[in-house]
Amino acid sequence: MRDYVLSVLVENKSGVLARVAGLFSARGFNIRSLTVAETDSPSVSRMSMVVNADERTFEQVKKQLNKLIDVISIQDFTKKDFLDRELLLIKVNFNSQNRSAIIEIVEVLQGKVLHVGSKSICIEIVGDKEKVATSLQLLKPYNLTEVMRTGVVAIGKD
């Protein structure tokens, strides 16, 4: 079992997401993250997904997706050189004792403080899978009241 990263162009029509999601659920495929966003064409949407599966199951996923009439094309990053990134928005409660430590961590992670309130700060962090895991681990000891993740998007290097 490993994570596979896919980018799927689909028709931007009512029901497409339901059909794709239905396919995954009917076959018990495990989606770790999914993003659906606009493209520069109003009639086309892009789905980026991370699927946790063994190789055989993953090949089935692709085959089944390809059969859907709304699917225009599938980009499989598995054997390609690609960059993956995810965006995290995190809200941390702080007090006078731990504020400096939290801000130090944000700096080390090259994160950005988006907002400072009287009791909490909002942080933006962007990174690949490894950096996201490290970020969450470093911030875990603090009082994280909200963690919003976009899920992974990927882009081929060439």
Please report how close the Cβ of residue 118 comes to a second copy at its closest, in angstroms: 9
In the range 28-57, which residues lie near a second copy by CB under 8 A?
Answer: 28, 30-40, 46, 48
Residue 131 sits in the site that holds a second copy (CB under 8 A)? no
Residue 136 sits in the site that holds a second copy (CB under 8 A)? yes
Report the 10 Å Cβ neighbour count for 86: 21
Please report how close the Cβ of residue 124 comes to a second copy at its closest, in angstroms: 6
The encoded tokens of residue 42 equal: 């109003």
Among the listed residues 62, 85, 99, 129, the single contact to a second copy using CB under 8 A: 85
The encoded tokens of residue 56 equal: 């055989």
Q: Is 103 exposed, middle or buried (0-12, 13-18, 19+ CB in 10 A)?
A: middle
Is the distance from CB of 10 to CB of 73 less than 8 angstroms? no
Report the C-alpha gap between 66 and 16 in whole angstroms.
13
* Binding region for a second copy (CB under 8 A): 7, 14-15, 17-18, 20-22, 24-25, 28, 30-40, 46, 48, 83, 85-87, 89-91, 114-115, 117, 120, 122, 124, 126, 136, 144, 146-151, 153-158
